[in-house]
Amino acid sequence: MLFSSMVFVWIFLPVVLAGSFLLRKPRFVNPFLVLASLFFYAWGEPVNVLLMLFSIVLNYCAGRLLARFEKNDPYEVKKLILTLDIVLNLALLAYFKYLGLLVEGINAVLSLLRGGALAVPSVALPIGISFFTFQALSYVVDVYRGQVPAQKKLINVALYISFFPQLIAGPIVRYREINDQIEDRRVTWDGFALGIRRFIYGLSKKVLIANVLARGADALYKLDIKNVTGGMAWLAAILYTFQIYYDFSGYSDMAIGLGRMFGFRFSENFNYPYLSRSIREFWRRWHISLSAWFREYVYIPLGGNRRGRARTYLNLLIVFLLTGVWHGAGLSFILWGLYHGFFSVLERLGLGKALKKLGALGWLYAFLVVVFGWVLFRVEDVPAALQLMGRMLTPWRCTATRLYLYDYISRHMVMLLPLAFLGMGPLQALGEKTGLAAKWKYSWIETVYCGALLALCIGALASSSYNPFIYFKF
């Protein structure tokens, strides 16, 4: 079920909100929210809810076993429990997400040995499996480290792993950030109003901007490379750059807003990443919850930056490699992760110091690096992606085409691009600097504005069936 769907906006959300308000206390609301979340997840593929239930029971039992051995502290036993839990979680993720890639790798080896090829299995990917698997792992690891007590109530673990606002595409919530809120939270009118406001802003990002830009990006990326000029390649890359930001940050805004409606406070997942002046800064602003997860559960355990420069650079490359693999089972995602890792290491080697002195040129560098990276991310066929990137680098060499750009890009899309640019941070920064942002928030003008946005969103949803979320496939 999509947040940006009529069923969710007009039926599911009102019913769940009404039920929560009637039940009031968390001990009654939590089981209700678990059932609602499982229904939400089962809406598209009912069978996948069994996988969700297995994940809940598996990680709940792991937490309880760790708590049982805590007093006598048999370190090896606790380590074994943690290892088994991690292996089982990652095995599920690997089966559904990476089995095809693994078989293709085996076939590549067999072809070198002149052996037969294995049939590549077609396994349907459960929506959001990467997100809820990482959340489940953070719970067990935090219990193992003694940072939080093991949860005695199965229903509470179930709510943490399955809660529908951030179930499908994050933000990835670490257990210790939310464990107190599960049993001790309060819904206030101010918080509820703030949640509605945030949800509307997120919905408008998705429906009024991302969906419109997506049509142009998809149309251009579907073209035969022979007919794509350098200018068309640049336009496709820019459209997708803004599409993925407004799509994903819009989802995160909706998730955070929904959480506030139910009394939960989720951490921010985006902080105007396209204002970054380096790739290191970009990853402090983009998909913050994923970056924080990898930093805490992978980068620091590997040694972080405590074991010398060479080991630091290796650790960074490992983290970015895993970041690429987390996003998808394909060579393009692996290369995309290593691409960002390369620039992160380059900045640590000295480029970062130079960027601080460049001012606006530092922003231009970071933005262009990100734009080129998104081409590799969007076009999963690596040779085709490299061809497009080549045309972007030498646009004067690729100008001949039999196609007319206005057949693929509407005036609406062209007019929307400047607004998309302003909305990615410059407008908000200007508001903060002039003090207008403080006057705008919670004013009657903003209330009218949000009402108008909601009306436009409903109209757009009613008249269009084009409504995908990019990060649902991860």
Q: 377 near 327, Cβ under 8 Å? A: yes
Structure tokens at 452: 């108008």
Q: From residue 151, how far is each of 59, 83, 141, 148, 288 by CA, in Å?
A: 10, 19, 13, 9, 26
H/E/C letters for each residue in 314-347?
HHHHHHHHHHHHHHCCCHHHHHHHHHHHHHHHHH
Burial of 382 (0-12, 13-18, 19+ CB in 10 A): middle
Structure tokens at 220: 């251009």
Please name the residue that has the structure tokens 């068309």: 232
CA nearest neighbour of 229 among 408, 404, 399, 402: 399
Helix axes 360-378, 382-393, angle to 10 degrees: 150
Distance, CA of 373 to CA of 379 (rounded, Å):
10
Question: How many C-alpha atoms does 247 have within 13 Å on its Cβ side?
Answer: 22
Structure tokens at 394: 């030498």
DSSP at 1: -
Is 287 an active-site residue? no
**Choice among 287, 327, 340, 412 that is catalytic:** 327
Active-site residue list: 327
